[in-house]
Structure 1
Amino acid sequence: MDRVERFTNHQSVSSQYELLDEMMDCYGQAIQQLVYTYVKDYATAEDLTQEIFIKAFKKLHTFRHQASVKTWLFRIAMNHCKDYLKSWHYRQIVLDNDFVHNTIANEVQIEQRFMQQSEEKRLANAVLKLPLAYREVVYLYYYEEWTTREISQMTQKNENTIKTRLNRARKLIKNLLSAGGERMNDPLMNVKHAFDKTVFERVQFTENQKKKTLIQVDPLKQKKIEIMILQTLYDSTKTGFAILNDLKKRIGKEDFQNNEGSVYILLHQLESKRYIQSQWEDNKGAKIKYYHIENKGRKRLVEIENEEGNKTSFRLDWEGGLRG
């Protein structure tokens, strides 16, 4: 874990691959448990956990050591889960299934099943029934044992708001559990034990999940894709989105989608470099010694210097046209 905590954004692709492997060993279980508290479905939690680690791999260069690796991963995971809960798939498929299920069982049956559950199961289920805003802070405070200040920084909510949500969650849980005869000052004090003994017994980040995730970001595969991009670029007389269509055919739709961010970045750089070199050599008669590209939306600000020390700058649009 020490190596994971010390990692920098100046690693080679293969080193980043090894770091991802170690991150999954250290935090895979914790991330999948967190994800489950959002989506409340075992299969979905597995899929989203893999997506989160792939996203983290692609964002390694953004890590600035302003927080621990675990905190950084949790922030990525929480945002990813919230995006999923807003998605069309969740709203149309998952919620429709819940509606059908809930219309079959009446309120009396639900209450009877709840009363028959163990104390741990009742507490865990009660927490999972809380509104997301309350459920989130309860899990981070009682299970992960974060302070209200740390939760405030993570969620970017005022610390008083976090304390208010915790108090309201306690009242809601106390009212729900009072029917089962529980009497306690803080009904949430046993959340960690309750989750470990019930719902988390089936939440397991497996070696198979890890392997599937690593295959998605295999450095050798990435290198092959980069070579294909380079070859396609220099073989083709096309520009812009026409090249992207060629790439999709050459590397396959799935690999293209899995590596779309890398494809666009490398394509921008290679296409710009090729275009800049041709323009500069035609106009100045000397090869480029230095160039810098800064993305500005669909435009790129380019600064170049040739071997004779001449400098210039201009804007380059996606299709390769010069702008002043």
Structure 2
Amino acid sequence: MNERELIERVQKGETEAFKDLMAPYERRIYSLLYGMVGDHEDALELTQEVFIKAYRSIKSFRMASSFYTWLYRIAVNLALDFRRHWVANPEPKEASDPPDEGGPDSSLLRKELNEQIHRAMALLSAQHRAIVLLREVEGLSYREIAEIMGCRLGTVMSRLHYAREGLRRALEPYLKGGG
């Protein structure tokens, strides 16, 4: 069954179709939210909130737009609200360790790089962080990001440029061997 049919079934009240509709997005939504809030438990909770909000709002979804951009917009808005209203400490918590592949030296270097990237991302505004994650991790187009973020295409390009510059500046000492 394709996505459109699942959406129509859910809109008609078939709740069991909702699980099938959300299954392909669960991991991606969680990853996006984790990147934005920096905490596993918060990201899991927000993922559930995204799905609850999507379920409650699905009758208003119009097939003229892309479902995943609609769903991502819900996720980004919830994460931005979360960071704005409920997080006392704006810096994300320590990143979890990457999977161990290779010897202890490569594992240590990977862990250190992961921590540096996490710190650099924490320096970005929530808007810039969301755009970087949507573009670089999720691989969305500028147009899709603009739709999700509710802004113009030029704004997305500008924010992404400044976010990349901020990341470059933050990571420069580490990449030059000084970190």
In the alignment, is the contact (CA less than 8 A) between 2:36 and 2:79 conserved in 1?
yes
Please point out which of 144, 158, 162 is paired with 1:164.
158
Distance verdict in 2 for CA 1:131–1:8, change over 3 Å: same
Which has the larger strand fraction?
1
1:72 alignment partner in structure 2:
70
Aligned pairs (5 A) from 1:49-68: 49-68=47-66
How far residue 142 of structure 1 moved from its aligned partner, in angstroms, is 0.9
Point out where structure 2 has 5 or more consecutive residues left out of the alignment: 94-108
Alpha-carbon offset, residue 128 of structure 1: 3.7
Greater CA radius of gyration, 1 or 2? 1
Which one-letter code corresponds to 2:150 in the other structure? Q
Q: Displacement of 1:120 after TM fit?
A: 4.1
Partner secondary structure for residue 157 of structure 1: coil
Give 5+ residue unaligned stretches, structure 1: 102-114, 184-324
Aligned equivalent of 1:154 = 148
Match in the other structure for 1:84: 82
Whole-Å separation in 1 of the counterparts to 2:2 and 2:166: 42
Name the counterpart of 1:5: 4
Structure 1 residues 178 and 22, CA gap change in structure 2 (3 angstroms): same
CA deviation after TM superposition for structure 1 residue 74, in Å: 0.8
Name the aligned partner's letter for residue 86 of structure 1.
R
Say which of 1, 12, 21 aligns to 1:23.
21
TM-score normalised according to structure 2 size: 0.76
Q: Indicate conservation of the 8 Å contact 2:29/2:72, yes or no.
A: yes
Structure 1 vs Structure 2 CA RMSD: 2.7
State the Cα distance separating 1:9 from its structure 2 match.
6.5
Post-superposition Cα deviations, 1:35-77, rounded to whole Å, max 9, x if no partner, equal: 1122211111111111211111111211111222221211111
- SS of structure 1 residue aligned to 2:68: helix
Q: Is the 8 A contact 1:4 1:19 kept in 2?
A: no
- Tell me the equivalent position of 2:98: none
> CA distance change for structure 1 residues 67 and 124 in 2, over 3 Å: closer, same or farther?
farther
With over 3 angstroms needed to count, the CA separation of the structure-2 counterparts of 1:178 and 1:50, relative to structure 1, is same
- Give SS of 2:62's match: coil
**Alpha-carbon shift at residue 181 of structure 1 (Å):** 2.8
Aligned residues: 160
CA distance in 2 between counterparts of 1:160 and 1:24 reads 31
Tell me if 1:41 matches 2:39. Answer: yes
More contact order relative to length (CA 8 Å, sep ≥ 6): 2
Contact 1:56 1:73 in 2 (8 A): yes
The answer as to whether partners of 2:9 and 2:17 remain within 8 angstroms in 1 is: no
Contact map agreement 1:8 1:63 (CA 8 A) in 2: no
Cα separation, 2, equivalents of 1:69 and 1:28: 14
CA, structure 1 residues 161+62, in 2 after alignment: closer, same or farther (shift >3 Å)? Answer: same
Q: Does the 8 Å contact 2:73/2:148 carry over to 1?
A: yes
**Sequence identity of aligned pairs in percent?**
28
Structure 1 residues 10, 147: closer, same or farther in 2, change over 3 A? closer
